[in-house]
Amino acid sequence: QLERAAAPRGRGQASSRGAVRHRAPVLCVARLQPTMDDAAGLPDYRGMEILSPMVRGSCLPLRLCCLQYGAGLVYSGVTIDRSILECVRVENAEFGCVDYINREEGKVIYSTCAQERERLIFQLGTCDAGLATRAALHVCRDVRGIDINMGCTAPFSTSGGMGAELLEKPEVVADILKSLRRELPAETALSCKIRMLPTVAQTCDFMQLCERSGANAVAVHMRTPAEDRNKGQPAHWDAAAQLCSAVNIPVIANGDFLSRSHIAEFWERLGASTCGENAAAPAALMVARGALWNPSIFSRQEQVPFDDVVRNYIRTAARVNNIFFNTKWALREMVSQNEQKPASLNFAGLQGAALRRFRNKVDNLPNMSECCKLFGVD
């Protein structure tokens, strides 16, 4: 059997596979967010709420769940250019997926499916225009757009000159984006996700460079590479208007959207850039941890019971045959204790010692069958 890789750490990694299959309902993508501009072939970002790229987090089951609850677009976790180029594309009819499998090791490095095709942005880690173009052309038939990671601070990315290191290499960024825009199909969206530079003026200049080089949109994590969310350093929302005014392409704001109330507050406070009426506001927002903890954060209608959300994630992971290592990691995040996490996100209402005991059971789960039993999934 082929082995699935949980998330890219340079050139992919091995992990055990949960082979137990469980029946699950087919998801229907919600139509609660703005629709795509199908005539132009590019996403209409205005008013969208988007799943952020997260290493290990933004894998296929989480992306499908977020789409079901109303996400406008979903980004994959970053995949390194050489890693995807070492893969062969295989249509997995048994699970309805398209798998990109490492030729030598037989690991599935990246997986997608037709359900997300029109709303999926593939994030690429690169620092070379030639490799980036080859990698993007390799996957573009299965995605709506290509995003270049220019904000990741993890060593696997920065040690190779990728991610946040690109913020210091504008000539390399311009070369990558120009090559991609020249070679990719016109209907394939091209974007980049960056962090703020040391000053707002420098960030504006960098965003303008991305626009001139062919980017259709830019997502901004409203912190600098030196700032750490885990140390309580907040996103710089006071700079949003100036950044959005610097370019004529959609700006996607990212940082500190941990609950539905945070999202509602953002729209009320900053609004959304629509039809040129509010150019000093972001066109869309991007959610990371809030969606990992609770994929239904994208629901603009009624609140979804958290237990149902968790069980839906498990069924979706089983349906697409997600590797068990990755499924268990995501579940640990969903049932984690975090002072920034909304108090309502407690599975089965567990708190204190009872929650800690339950989390220990999650840590020790050996396979998908036992996972379903623990969470009460038929």
pLDDT tens-place string over residues 220-249: 999 999 987 766 678 888 899 899 999 999
pLDDT tens-place string over residues 85-106: 999 999 999 999 999 999 999 9
CA distance 253 to 273: 12
Query: Higher confidence at residue 229 or residue 156?
Result: 156
Q: Of 113, 152, 244, 372, which residue is the catalytic one?
A: 152
Would you call 59 a catalytic residue per the annotation? no
SS3 of 319, please?
helix
pTM: 0.88
Taking residues 49-57, report their average pLDDT.
Answer: 96
CA distance 13 to 29: 30
191-204 in b/e form (b: 16+ CB < 10 A) is bbbbbbbeeeeebb
- Across the chain, mean pLDDT equals 88
Tell me which residue of 98, 118, 18, 12 sits closest to 326, measured CA to CA. 18
Share of the chain above pLDDT 90, in %: 74
Task: State yes or no: pLDDT of 112 exceeds 90.
Answer: yes
Question: Packing angle between helix 368-375 and helix 306-319, nearest 10 degrees?
Answer: 160
